[in-house]
Chain A
Amino acid sequence: MAKPVAKAKGETLPAKTKSASKSRGPGDNSVSPDQLKTFYHDMLLIRRFEERAGQLYGMGLIGGFCHLYIGQEAVVVGMQSTIRGKDSIITSYRDHGHMLAAGMDPKGVMAELTGRSGGYSKGKGGSMHMFSREKNFFGGHGIVGAQVPIGTGLAFAHKYNGGNDVSLTYLGDGAANQGQVYESMNMAALWKLPVVYIIENNRYGMGTSVERASAVTELHRHGEAFGIPGEEVDGMDVLAVRAAGEKAVEHARSGAGPYLLEMQTYRYRGHSMSDPAKYRSKEEVDKYRSERDPIDHLRKILIDGKIADEAALKAVDAEIRKTIGDAAEYAQHSPEPDPSELWTDVLVGA
């Protein structure tokens, strides 16, 4: 069992978290220069997608709740690089980044945000409820914590089917206080299910800080009652995420049971679009943005390691802008769902 990493309580900015898994630099052969460039691309794609989603929301083109992932990009991009084939992914309602990392088409995701027929759920799910069987992405769930038993059930099915596929089950620090999370951890440990629980600790469950919500703020220790090894990870460093993720996924794949990763991360935007985020200081947000930004961090590795120059990164940026521009265009011009869609997909074969 990994040793829990001690952390001072009440610390306002847990600067660089010390992961048991060391962040490996570009000199490490386990992450190729091409992979590093892919990570950069994928994180920037999520960032730009979310910025555009925020803009479309501001224009009234996206309705309802819209939870942006800006700031947390390193978590999904790092974790996605550790899985393969039929491994499954499930998360909560802050899900746009997970879908893009899983390889879902930005057009289909954006068109779902605008409630159009070209969206992944034909416009019937919206921001919080999207799925792709093809990419083994099982949602997008709107009830805090509900995805955790479901993700554990995906792991149950992986084991039942006899392969060695793994379920990545993401939850936030807010969900980490839900009873069903612990019911799931118990069963996963009892039955040695191949699931990696990834707590994305962005420090606030809506407006309530972890310190005000959890009696034990070291969320990676929340599986201890069930003997689940846990590890705190610097979720702003994609390489640290990948290193910890590889270990956790291998643990689950080997049949040793569940593993818990606590990603120390930060969301720059409010809980949802309509959250003015008065529960935290502007200085705190600025400090994360200027000192801990996951994309800037990787950018520096790429430049300092001479893996990519400014011109190359600018080209990546331009390509992504075009992809996002096309997605936004598609999302605004894909037709609204036909009224007959009201009555479809209520039941299979009825």
Chain B
Amino acid sequence: MSIPVLMPALSPTMTEGKLAKWHVKVGDAVKSGQVICEIETDKATMEVEAVDEGTVAQILVPEGTEGVAVNAPICILAAEGESVADAAKAAPAAASAAKADVSNAAGAPKAEPPPALAAPPVVSAPAAEPEWKGKTVRLTVREALRDAMAEEMRRDDKVFLMGEEVAQYQGAYKVSQGLLDEFGAKRVIDTPITEHGFAGLGVGAAFAGLRPIVEFMTFNFAMQAIDQIINSASKTLYMSGGQMGCPIVFRGPNGAASRVAAQHSQCYASWYAHCPGMRVLAPWSAADAKGLLKAAIRDPNPVIFLENEILYGQQFDVPDDPDFVLPIGKAKIERPGKDVTIVSFSIMVGKALQAADELAKKGIDAEVINLRSLRPFDTETIVNSIKKTNRLVSVEEGWPFAGIGSELAAQMMDHAFDWLDAPVKRVAGLDIPLPYAANLERLALPQVENIIEAARAVCNR
């Protein structure tokens, strides 16, 4: 049987090229891998190697021919045992057959109308946790985080903690206090200062079925590791057609601490929330911290867990139950109200509640929503609140441009436009690197008075 050799595409965008030179002539034997001709494109000259073996029976496109279409037959090989003359005779048929073959093979993607299915599946937020009626204990956020890790490490021996100073030093911020003593050096691991390396190492351990908790001393340093977090942890499940789950938690303090200046004071909420393939949580209270961190460790997906250094020492009531786990993806109404909805997360929830108390004195009844989860995002709870208050203020510590507040405003355009009586107002950090000087730092970060001002503006009072 004669074998047609087709004009190859040498790049994804090539549609035609010049057949610059033949390296073989009729009658030559050709082996796999042998260079048979040269092709010129607008970018380069490249050699074409034979895939099939045989004898050159006919050259269909002479050298020097310009504009040869990709997939056009350029020569005919006689297969072993076939005469060159027979192969050449069969050539036109073979050539057209080859063409037909290619079109049948559905090689080039056809321009199709976008299918109706190309819309995201609607995922509703999980049910809110039932109100806790049992015993509570008073814990700092720091203790709640430690207890969450300890309980989950007792529950599953695949869970381990790694990071800088997490073991012998007992945690740079003392979050991992006592864990080395209880679980030993195999499961509580001090790493060198090598964020990209240990984040990637954690991802590999998770691919292999372990459940790493990777602590970043602060999320500022996770920028060193962001390629492993995004490209490896969050995308591999998809790129493997569902084979490569990555159950890993990346946690640590996020956002401004106090007087540590621009490189150590950044909120990464919108950076991570932007990316599919993982979950992004930002607890405020100790109960959030404990219930959500336990949920994060049990979750089979990569989870970014954004803590806050200033909150570590704050005390809250926490349900006294080792099985207390919060649903991922559910916001919490921290203070019901009817006049304006204030949506916030992490440390700003506390400021929003303070603002609400002040607003109440002025006769404005604010509802404060603690997002807790930034991805998935609980649009439903916010829309339901707006149906009641018709006004929305978002509060975040990070920069305003392309921030969580921007997303919130866009979501409300989609889902609550008709219920809004005023434009959505964003309160955010100033659009500058965070300054060191105490007075400038205070001016750069959202304060209670900024929230009050925004709430009064949308209420027109």
Contacts of B301 in A (CB 8 A): 347-350
What's the Cα separation between A47 and B247 when bound, in Å?
37
B204:A70 contact, CB within 8 angstroms? no
A131:B200 contact, CB within 8 angstroms? no
A348:B240 contact, CB within 8 angstroms? no
A51:B207 contact, CB within 8 angstroms? no
A180-B196 in contact given A121-B240, A149-B201 (Cβ < 8 Å): yes
Contact of A156 among B10, B12, B194, B205 (CB under 8 A): B205
Q: How large is the interface on A (under 10, 10 to 19, 20 to 34, 35 or more residues)?
A: 35 or more
Contacts of A51 in B (CB 8 A): 32-33, 49, 51
A157:B238 contact, CB within 8 angstroms? no
Does A340 lie at the interface of the complex (its beta carbon under 8 Å from any beta carbon of B)?
A: yes
A70:B205 contact, CB within 8 angstroms? no
B240:A129 contact, CB within 8 angstroms? yes
- By beta carbon, the residue of chain A nearest B230 is A143
CB distance from B274 to the nearest CB of A (A): 14
Interface size on B, residues (CB 8 A): 72
A183:B300 contact, CB within 8 angstroms? no
CB distance from A175 to the nearest CB of B (A): 13
Flag A184-210 by CB within 8 Å of B: 1 or 0 each: 101100100000000000000000000
Majority secondary structure, B binding face: loop
Stretch touching chain B among A53-61, A94-102, A257-265? A53-61
What's the Cα separation between A236 and B80 when bound, in Å?
30
Chain A residues 106 to 139 lying within 8 A of chain B, measured CB to CB, are: 119-125, 129-133, 138-139
Stretch touching chain B among A11-19, A215-223, A268-276? A268-276
Chain A residues 139 to 183 lying within 8 A of chain B, measured CB to CB, are: 139-143, 146, 148-158, 160-161, 179-180, 183
Does B134 lie at the interface of the complex (its beta carbon under 8 Å from any beta carbon of A)?
A: no
Contact of B200 among A150, A340, A346 (CB under 8 A): A150
Does A88 lie at the interface of the complex (its beta carbon under 8 Å from any beta carbon of B)?
A: yes
Does A332 lie at the interface of the complex (its beta carbon under 8 Å from any beta carbon of B)?
A: yes
What's the Cα separation between A58 and B201 when bound, in Å?
38
A278:B71 contact, CB within 8 angstroms? no
- By beta carbon, the residue of chain B nearest A342 is B118
B12:A129 contact, CB within 8 angstroms? no
Does B130 lie at the interface of the complex (its beta carbon under 8 Å from any beta carbon of A)?
A: no
A120:B241 contact, CB within 8 angstroms? yes
A60:B71 contact, CB within 8 angstroms? yes
- By beta carbon, the residue of chain B nearest A324 is B51
Contact of A150 among B115, B120, B207 (CB under 8 A): B207
Does A344 lie at the interface of the complex (its beta carbon under 8 Å from any beta carbon of B)?
A: yes
A149:B240 contact, CB within 8 angstroms? no
What's the Cα separation between A100 and B70 when bound, in Å?
29
Does B439 lie at the interface of the complex (its beta carbon under 8 Å from any beta carbon of A)?
A: no
B197:A274 contact, CB within 8 angstroms? no
CB distance from B374 to the nearest CB of A (A): 15
Q: Output the residue of B32, B48, B118 with the most chain A CB within 10 A.
A: B32
Flag A263-303 by CB within 8 Å of B: 1 or 0 each: 00000101001101010000000000100000000000000
B277:A59 contact, CB within 8 angstroms? no
A146-B231 in contact given A273-B10, A348-B300 (Cβ < 8 Å): yes
A55:B8 contact, CB within 8 angstroms? yes
Contact of A183 among B107, B121, B196, B232 (CB under 8 A): B196
Number of cross-chain contacts by CB at 8 Å: 217
A60:B277 contact, CB within 8 angstroms? no
B200:A180 contact, CB within 8 angstroms? yes
- By beta carbon, the residue of chain B nearest A193 is B201
Does B227 lie at the interface of the complex (its beta carbon under 8 Å from any beta carbon of A)?
A: yes
Contacts of A276 in B (CB 8 A): 43-46
A179-B196 in contact given A143-B227, A152-B201 (Cβ < 8 Å): yes
CB distance from B192 to the nearest CB of A (A): 6
A149:B10 contact, CB within 8 angstroms? no
What's the Cα separation between A183 and B191 when bound, in Å?
11
Contacts of A183 in B (CB 8 A): 192, 194, 196-198
A148:B43 contact, CB within 8 angstroms? no
What's the Cα separation between A156 and B199 when bound, in Å?
13
Contact of B33 among A121, A184, A190, A268 (CB under 8 A): A268
- By beta carbon, the residue of chain B nearest A331 is B105
Does A37 lie at the interface of the complex (its beta carbon under 8 Å from any beta carbon of B)?
A: no
Contact of A187 among B160, B201, B277 (CB under 8 A): B201
Flag B263-285 by CB within 8 Å of A: 1 or 0 each: 00000000000001111000000
B238:A124 contact, CB within 8 angstroms? yes
B241:A125 contact, CB within 8 angstroms? yes
What's the Cα separation between A121 and B102 when bound, in Å?
24
Does B236 lie at the interface of the complex (its beta carbon under 8 Å from any beta carbon of A)?
A: yes
A60-B240 in contact given A55-B8, A152-B201 (Cβ < 8 Å): no
Contacts of A143 in B (CB 8 A): 227, 231-232
- By beta carbon, the residue of chain B nearest A51 is B51
CB distance from A318 to the nearest CB of B (A): 11
Contact of B203 among A131, A150, A346 (CB under 8 A): A150
- By beta carbon, the residue of chain A nearest B187 is A160
Between-chain CB contacts (< 8 Å), 7 pairs: A47-B33, A54-B51, A140-B239, A153-B200, A180-B200, A186-B197, A348-B247
Known pairs A276-B43, A345-B237 / 14 extra A-B pairs, C-beta < 8 Å: A55-B51, A58-B48, A125-B240, A129-B239, A139-B236, A139-B240, A148-B200, A149-B204, A157-B209, A186-B192, A332-B107, A339-B117, A340-B117, A343-B121
10 pairs of A and B residues whose beta carbons are closest in the complex: A153-B204, A149-B200, A58-B8, A183-B197, A157-B208, A276-B44, A122-B241, A274-B11, A150-B204, A129-B239
